[in-house]
Structure 1
């Protein structure tokens, strides 16, 4: 039998492909006998190239600002027994794959990718099995913001639904995307942490009890692949607006002092305020003339400072809201001292006195402000020039030198020049006493109807006149006119019935006389001793033409 068969050469090189190579076959049997034959052999390569192991898909993001990407591509390394002559990669549509050509970007949740198929051929044209790799370009680029808003600070100048705040407008940011349109949403995170949809021109309130409201405005731009870009800014609405004056402060007030008061209660209509954000506190103070500050209110008493003729007070109303914004209005109160001193004459004077009476003229002067007003007391007799008789409290008056018409005038002036004047008039009748009335030949008893003589002597300075006259008792009272250097006298005699009244009788005479051209009154009285025993005070009142009651001399 055949023990061994040998072929030589039994292998070929790649260089021998396509060539006829002599090949010798040697056959040996079991006995060692052999036989050979040689024939040309054409060397062919029928072994296909071997693709590399599969690789994971290539996933790359889009190139910046592009809706695609040039994918970094390393050709697959096919292996072959001889030589890989070429590797061809194609797109799914069979067109050649160009690594320099960008692939379109897709959204991650729906990406299909691009399947690249590569086939290698060796030098004998043997094709390899296809080698495939999925290449995916994902749109990972978010939209870009070309304009975002800077933080906005504004004052609360508006109101809505009872809340203060502000309507705020702004230019919305602009979004652009590399692949698709951008859906834009805008929300605001409110001070309470809640999120609300907002838009330019919306109202942004200040939370109750707060002085500002801070809102984070967030713009979100999303492309079709859910890539998003946020743009945010803050809106701060502050209560910076002071309260408004609804009813203004009154005009400056000028008042006179209250009666008997060194000052005045002053009334005014308070101003009214309102605030854009609600509650406010109103205080009212006055700067006093001495610079001190006091709380005041309408109807308060505003004193005139000692030694001053007016008190000026700057009254200021201040309205303050809870955030410290304040509004002021002011006006002046001027209290003037215009009340003159008060003059009181106590006791009051009688209208008529005798020249022999005693008189103390007493008065008091008080002033609402000045504790020591200036006082002048003037006395005028019969229209003559006033004589200053000023003295404190009570002034003794010598009536013996003031026969006739008299006027006492008190002038009181306070330190502000307010002046009061009080005048009192009284008349002094010349009282003739003692030997100024003489009954000629005083007779112890005068029968009824007996005539007697009497005469009157006037004292200095009226002694230029002497009146002498005899009149029968019981005759009708009558007057006589006789010139003694321009003097005139009127004498009247009291009548009595000595038979009916066997007692001492009383003789009186009244009349007028001229002195320095002025008519003056006089009164005289004496007793007629008609009987014995000793004289006594008459029991009947004298019949006088005046209202004065003489005393026994």
Structure 2
């Protein structure tokens, strides 16, 4: 290319650009999105398309996106104009549109499932197989051999699904067959009636079996076509189909096994038992009445005899036993004889009577001591007494040997009877006794005896009242009495008196103790002189006067004497008093030697003339 400018310039001559389209040559699929590229580094690009296609997006880039039409047969032309340094070039490419290739369905896996619980069908999740196609996305469709929808439950057995796929240009894939097999693996159900327990006496008595109405078993299955059968084992061996109904069973346990089988040969079983027990007890006849006998002499037992009883039972007697037999030796007391009949079902019946052996022999007591006499222990009102223990014997044994007192016991003063009592186990009692006499030979003791007492008389009396502490008496067996001849503050006569205390115990032992009380008369007598005249006249015949005087005296205990004296000479009255004054001395003495004295003058005058 030569520039038209006329100026002088440097001219660079570039090579012309070459338009070239690279991209798919076809045939292209309907609706295909195709990318075409031009040469790189151009200054400008201009893309155009004609025919059965259109440009998507920019048409001025180095590449362009072309969308083929949806027609299954057609063509389009894509053109490119490029510019480089003012130079241009153009090119185009024609592409055919067509789709003659069939889609391909992916292979499938056959399905095997079990029936749903409680149903004869199964809900199956069917996965649609993928489909590959050269031009577009194609989906497969399935058709079940039973004509039901794919999401409907599949019945037991084999169902086929035919998968087909067709693309937009009606190219069809080769069909694919998929098998769905539903297996019935659910066992049928069977429920036997509740176990039956009955007894031989339900229908009648005296036999060993019973007719039983067996309630019907219930059975079912998720699918139809089940059958029921039964078999008996145990006390009865038998079998059959359907329900059992009424059947006669012997004693024992019979197991009835029910088996239900469905159309797929699944089975189920259940069992029930029929237990017939013999509830009829045996009987015993001929049981004797109660027997009562005495023990044989010297022994604690006796032999009893009776007629044997007889047992019977509806199913037979297995054993007949007794705890005692006729001719056995029975111990003292009441023994229950029990006969027991047991049949083969363990039913038992017992009948009994009693054998009473009475012990009427009393025990014996040997070795009883003779009567015992002892004195009390010092200072005790008793004595410890010992003796050899007696022995008791009995034909059936001694239950107790008791005594009112035992060796080594203290015995009170007096006579005590010791009684031994032997009792056997049947209440027979024997007694034996002896006496223990304890004599009290100990005298009482008197305490507090005072020493001899001396006191003066009380003024004006011939007595005194002495005092002393009360005496006490003690005795090993007790003081019966403590007496005295005198007691404190008693009046005691002047002189010496013996006070005697006497203590006596309850058993006649006596003890005395004494002291003296001396009452002294310390009181003098009181002298009263006679009345004396002033003078007396002598006798005419002499110079004397014969006079008598009497003095008096008083004393608390009594006057013993009044003595008169003149000078040293004792006188008596009448007394010849000489003329003049004569002093008469008077001395009074009481009975205890106490004295009082005084004197009086006697004046004698001579009045006679010579």
Structure 1 or 2: more strand by fraction = 2
- Give the TM-score normalised by the residue count of structure 1: 0.41
- Give the TM-score normalised by the residue count of structure 2: 0.38
Which protein shows a greater Rg? Answer: 2
